[in-house]
Amino acid sequence: MKPGARRQRPPSRPSRPAGPPAELLIESLGGEGDGMAAGPAFVPFTLPGERVSAAGSGERRELVEVLEPSPQRIAPVCPHFGTCGGCALQHWAHEPYLAWKVERLAGTLARQQIETEILAPFAAGPGTRRRVALHARRGSREAARLGYKARKSWDLVDIAVCPISDPAIQAAIPALKRLAAPLFEHPKSAPTLHVTLTPAGLDVDISGVERKSGGLSADARVQLAERAAAADFARVTLDGEVAYQARLPQVRLGQGVVALPPGAFLQATPQAEAALSAFVAEAAAGATRIADLFCGVGTFTFRLAEIAQVYAADVAPTSIRALSGALAAAPGLHGVTAEARDLVRRPVLAAELKKTDVAVFDPPRAGAVEQTAELARSSVARIIGVSCNPATFARDARTLLDAGFALDRVLPVDQFLWSPHIELVGVFSR
């Protein structure tokens, strides 16, 4: 250890693996955010350039002590960091952390022989997440244990705070624990509370309650509603079925005000949604007819309809109904045709895109193999791809490039703060 260097203890962690600790030099970071030494040996909560003591053998080790810390190391902001499996990189200063994410994105594209302009990334800050999934486990009659799964474990970390989440969600944690307490009538119940912050208040969709035994009893449902009312939640649903509603959760998307179906997908932070939507709308400027594929409840649809006529498609009928229901009251739109359609089993065909000059696609993590193949065969002049998975984006982008498109530019989007995940939106042209 260098003279004067300050040793640092690791955050709380699972029980230490067997075997004497070994001294390792961390050379880089792996894809999941763990430090990587020669071997390779992966050590969580370490940074490039650090000399550490790590226990265990083989590829997976556990940090014992940071012997020579990196100058980029900072103090984590969350007391649950290191135990909770939700964040992996709170110990890294923001600028090198964000640069690492962008480098990983560039590397993922390069593996498909893709080079393009990568723009300065958008990065969401702490306290901005409006959508979280909290696991519940049996506690007392008054309050369940509630939080995230522990790192590399099925155990639950019962949280008191969550610095990534909007302050309104953090403030509601005690009330959410009380809400979850009546959900454990059946021993197989393992509820998850999908919490979304809306202007009307918190919208909570609960999954994982055992249904084969008949679901919740009438008494438990009464308790659930009473506790939701006491907390002034907007709505509580059980697998989409309304158990309590004081106000209809709605969100504004461009000129549209959309009534959210239970459990509907929204971008994790409103700031990232605004950045993505502005980028997509700018890239679609000048279009005469637009296809918005995997449209959800209309994250991009309403903004695109201010530019041109839009055909919008998504697999979820509830999302399409919500989007359609908001159209009549949305001013200044060029017209939207919305269809519930499984774009994996029944992609929009190249022939159907004959009059479309701009297409937007925002698929789930698996990407859009089938739909991208049709886009590649179409006469669409410009394509805008939004993705939460750089690997599947790169695979689909390769299909478009092989068909004669160019990837003009990419905007990295970091809305899953302190995780290894990075999202992006890219613009293709003929």
- Per the omega criterion (within 30 degrees of 0), is the bond before 40 cis? yes
121: DSSP letter: P
Distance in angstroms (rounded) separating the CA atoms of residues 138 and 180: 9
Cα dihedral 107→119→163→6 (10° resolution): 60
Distance in angstroms (rounded) separating the CA atoms of residues 386 and 396: 11
Label the pairing between strands 131-137 and 145-149: antiparallel
CA angle (264 as vertex; 302, 376 as ends), nearest 5: 60
Token look-up 């279009």 returns 287
CA 16 to chain centre: 31
CB proximity list for 430: less than 8 A, separation 6 or greater: 381, 382, 404, 405, 406
Could you tell me if residue 147 is left (phi over 0), alpha (psi between -120 and 50 degrees) or otherwise beta?
A: left
Q: Are 204 and 176 in contact (CB under 8 A)?
A: yes
Q: Given 87, 162, 295, 388, which residue is catalytic?
A: 388
Distance in angstroms (rounded) separating the CA atoms of residues 284 and 385: 11
- Residue 388 is a catalytic residue: yes
One-character DSSP codes across 324-374: HHHHTT-TT---EEEEE--TTTSPPPGGGGTT--EEEE---TT--HHHHHH
So which residues are the catalytic ones? 388
